[in-house]
Amino acid sequence: MPRRRASQSPRVVYRTARAGLRVTRGQRRRLVGLLISAGDVWACVLELNAWRRARQDRPFASYSELCRELAASGPGTFGELDSHGARSVLRRYSDAWFASAKRRNEGDRTARFPRRRRALAPVRWYHGRFMLEGRRLRIPVAHGCPALWVRLDRDLPHPPEQVRSITLLYDAGRLWVDVTAEVPVACHPAGHEPDPGRVAGVDLGIIHPYAVAGPDGQALLVSGRAIRAEHRMHLADTKGRVRAVARRAPKPGQKGSRRWRHYRRRQRLVEARHRRRVRQAQHEAAKTVIAWAVARRIGSLAVGDPRGVLKVDAGRRHNQRIREWRIGHLITVLKDKAEAAGIGLQLVDERGTSSTCPACRSRIPKPAGRVLACPACQFTGHRDLTAAANIAARLGGGITPVIPAGVTHRRAGAHLPGVAPSRRDPRRRAHHRGARGSPGRHRPARASPTPG
């Protein structure tokens, strides 16, 4: 919930960054204790409303009603969790309840009110409750409990005075904080601000997550090869893992063995790491696009929205590919970064843009490969860039360079393991002589021939 701001103040956006926590065993116990207490608050509200429903009373849903009930429970009911942290759980419940109510009012009968208990619930604290000094963070605890200082595992991208809230959460076996900051929209020096009249078209794809065509024949291609490799390695790894443990998988209703639980835990860690890697790579790709656009004073981005194709069933392999694409995330990150940079973004229908000749507007049936060749007018060009130029034209970009003046090539996910020789991927096997897969464990360095 953004705070009220004076109407004259400069425009801001809210951005959240996640950082891991470096904690001792004792700190970890206390932090998990806070999350369990928050889960208890959540469960209490569910219980309370279940009773009220059984009595045919109106359920408590508004934040203030719930806060009154919390105050009646008195201090110390929820362990070390302070009242502000507990209220953040009530806020979450209230928001979820009203969101469901709204959807039900609009006729969506599948929308359901919050009903699931959780062992751990995330807790949020707003500005003024916590203290942030560099990487040190003081998590608020109930009155009378010893102070709880923890360390973040990285520097935050936002200065501490911009931070408005922190959220403590647990994901895949690790403790995290989400730090939300109020970031002013970028101010560009006079003469360098984005010009809304300069339009660039963005074509979203799997081979190239972003293909951008701008004015003056300038173009940008972001390669998604590393992301696709990450997906492929992860899929192969998961398949191997599943095959290896299929024998000891518990039957439905059967309690799993300790080894099985360890396997499940490991699986969750690997899944989470894979998601983080892809997410990070997509963020970096979007950042590249925005930096490129700012440098060329592009003020409007027209993004072709291909989400119509997602509903079509295209077979097992292609469906998997489409799902891995994470198109919604690609659009969201680009939109967020464009907004923070002061660039407008509009979604346009992309139907036909990758099969229309930009020179003579004739339709090219079934273009194959990365190069688009028009049989009518001998136009040839990069297929994704041509699509991007066609998308730009739909928003009045109107630039169709037959030969792009300058194409910038960038890679998404340069940090992914296996991309640079310095970070080899342990999932990758050395498949022939000289190929470097996993470095293996404690393998001594090859003795270098000493010049005699």
- Rule CB under 5 A: which residues touch Zn ion? 357, 359-360, 374, 376-377, 379
Bridge partners, residue 387, by sequence: none
CB-based burial of residue 441 (10 Å sphere; 0-12 exposed, 13-18 middle, 19+ buried)?
exposed
Find the shortest distance in angstroms from Cβ 389 to Zn ion: 13
Which H or E run includes 133?
Answer: strand 131-133
- In 306-450 the beta strands, taken as DSSP E runs, fall at 344-349, 371-373, 380-382, 406-411
3-state helix, strand, coil in the chain (%, to 5): 40, 20, 40
In the numeric block, which tokens belong to residue 241?
């893992």
Q: Which is nearer to Zn ion, 62 or 378 (CB)?
A: 378
For the CB of residue 375, give the shortest distance to Zn ion in the complex, in Å: 8
**Amino acid identity, position 318:** H
For residue 35, the number of C-alpha atoms closer than 13 Å in the C-beta half-sphere is 20
Q: State the Cα–Cα distance between residues 181 and 165, nearest whole angstrom.
A: 7
Q: How far is the CB of 355 from Zn ion (least distance, A)?
A: 11
Q: Closer CB to Zn ion, residue 141 or residue 389? A: 389
Is 169 or 359 the residue whose CB approaches Zn ion more closely? 359
Q: How far is the CB of 393 from Zn ion (least distance, A)?
A: 14
Rounded to 5 degrees, what angle do the CA atoms 327, 329, 333 make? 125
Closest CB to Zn ion among residues 88, 390: 390
Q: How far is the CB of 121 from Zn ion (least distance, A)?
A: 59
- Minimum distance of Zn ion from residue 363's CB (angstroms): 9
Strand-pair partners of 195: 298
Nearer Cβ to Zn ion (249/359)? 359
186/359 with CB nearer Zn ion: 359
Q: How far apart are CA 84 and CA 81, in angstroms?
A: 8
At 400, list the tokens.
């169709």
Measured from the CB atom, the residue of 239 and 361 that comes closer to Zn ion is 361
Residue 74 has which token pair? Answer: 């008195």
Least separation in angstroms between residue 304's CB and Zn ion is: 20
**Which tokens sit at 243?**
């095959």
